[in-house]
Each structure stands twice: as C-alpha cells, then as structure tokens.
Amino acid sequence: MTSPTPDSLVAEASQQFSQGEMQHAADLLDQALHQAPNHLYALYNRAQIHLLQQELDEAESVFIRTLEEEPTFTPAAIGLTKAFIGHKSFDRALDALLQLEPHLTPEQLVEYHYLAGICHAGEREWDGALIAFEHYARLRPDSLDPQLCLYRAHENLGNHTEALACLEKIADRDPTQSAVWVTLLQGLLEQKQTARVLHHCRRMTEANADRIELHNLAVRVCVESGQYAHAYLLCRKAIEQHPEFDRTQYIALARTEVLA
C-alpha cells in the first residue's frame, strides 16, 4: 500500500482539526513533517496547534521555521506575533507586526490593528493603544470588542467621559451585558450624571425583564443617586415580575421619601 503523501496528510489533518480532533491533527502533521520537514502548510498548521494548546515556545519555534521558508507568509507572522504576546514579549511582537504591515491584505488589517493595540497596552503605552484600537473600531464598526478595547485605553488615559461613552455603545447594542451595566452605572454615579443614570436604569430593566439581579442593580443605583421615587417605582415593577424580589430595604427607603 502506498504511504500517504505530505499533502494528503496535511489535508486529513485539516479535516480532523475542523472536527475538533486537535491531537489527531497534530499527529498527522508530525507525520507530514517527518516526510517533508520544510512543508509550508504542515509547519504553519502545526505551529497553530501549538499556539492553541498554549505551547508557546514550540509555537514560536515552528512559526519562525515557517517564515524561514516563506518570509512574506503573513498568517505565520501573525501567529508569531500572538506567540510573542503570549510570552508578554510585547516589544518583539510589535517589531514583528511592523515588519508585517507592508504585506497585509485588507482583511488582515483588522487583526493587525487589534494586535498592535494589545502590544501597546502591554507596554502601558496607552496613547499608542488608543490609536490602534480606533483603527480597529473603524474597521469593525458593528462589533462590541473594539468598544471594550477603546474603553480600556480611555480609562487608563483618564478619559473617563469617553470611556463611559464606549460602554454606552456596548449597552445600546447588547443590553444583556451585566458587567457593562455595573461599570457604566457606577461611572455615571461618580460623575453625578443623574439623568443618564435613570435613562439607563429604565433601559436595562426593560431589556432584561427576566433578570432579577439587574432589577436589584437598578434599584440600588437609583437609591445611591438619591432618586428614591424612581427606586420605588422600579421596586413595584420588579415585585410584579419577581415575587421573590428582595425589596424590603429599598421599599422602606423609597416609601419614606415618596410618601413624606
């Protein structure tokens, strides 16, 4: 029987990988590389599996071998950048990205700007991170992740108003994000943005009628901002939807203010 060729082994490895059989795919790629040590796609795919398995030293080594075979093979250069980032070698990762830039396709620019932002953030260079994440956001205007990245950069630069604006965009697009609501409402409280606090409390509870923890959050925030009447109304609404709602403290405080 004829032995499988390196190309057929790589093809079978790709199929196994797509089916979630990562270790089987790795074994097939090792067989391919035993027959053809410089096979470009066997090298690249094997490096990718190392990266996914957090075997960073091995990933870095095999990505470098891949680029020695084809220096302008941008997927391998992006993979090498991720391995450097995994090692927290942000300066090496950024150097790799800068060498990569002239060879990028338009589709690869998205990941390029994202990784550049991560590198700058890792080096605490928040101005550079902000610029990179702004490019990332322009290329992915409907995605939530760029807004999270921009929030982090703005927050570290002390741009608290801009940071909260990023969270508001996320909440507008996906009102189910509990962690975003907590951070957004707390930030608005600190800035004494009462009208926006009330607006977002209403939106949050309307979009999450079945989530008692967000009703609790809305009531607590209204109480903390001194909006007792709104807290009382939110309690009444929550009680109608959730008989188990923990309302004693809030209702007592709200009633005292509303009925005084």
Domain edges within the chain: 1-97, 104-174, 181-260
- pLDDT for 260 equals 45
How far is residue 197's CA from residue 16's CA, in Å, rounded to a whole number?
51
pLDDT in tens, 36-79: 999 999 999 999 999 999 999 999 999 999 999 999 899 999 99
Q: In the chain, pLDDT over 90 holds for what percent of residues?
A: 61
How far is residue 242's CA from residue 228's CA, in Å, rounded to a whole number?
20
**CATH code assigned to 104-174:** 1.25.40.10
Distances (CA, A) of 133 to 109, 150, 232: 12, 6, 41
Distances (CA, A) of 237 to 128, 200, 232: 46, 16, 9
Fold (topology level) of 1-97: 1.25.40
Residue 252 confidence (pLDDT) above 80: no
- pLDDT for 100 equals 85
Residue 111 confidence (pLDDT) above 80: yes
Class of domain 181-260: mainly alpha
**What pTM does this model have?**
0.83
- Residues 160 and 191 sit within 8 Å (Cβ to Cβ): yes
Torsion-angle region of 4 (φ positive above 0: left; ψ -120 to 50: alpha; else: beta): beta
Write down the mean pLDDT value for the chain.
89
pLDDT in tens, 135-176: 999 999 999 999 999 999 999 999 999 999 999 999 999 988
Give the distance, in angstroms, between the CA of residue 89 and the centroid of all CA atoms in the same chain.
20
**Beta-carbon contacts of residue 25 (< 8 Å; ≥ 6 apart):** 13, 14, 16, 17, 45, 49
Crossing angle of helices 74-86 and 56-69, in 10° steps, is 160
- Residues 145 and 170 sit within 8 Å (Cβ to Cβ): no
For residues 212-220, give the mean pLDDT. Answer: 84
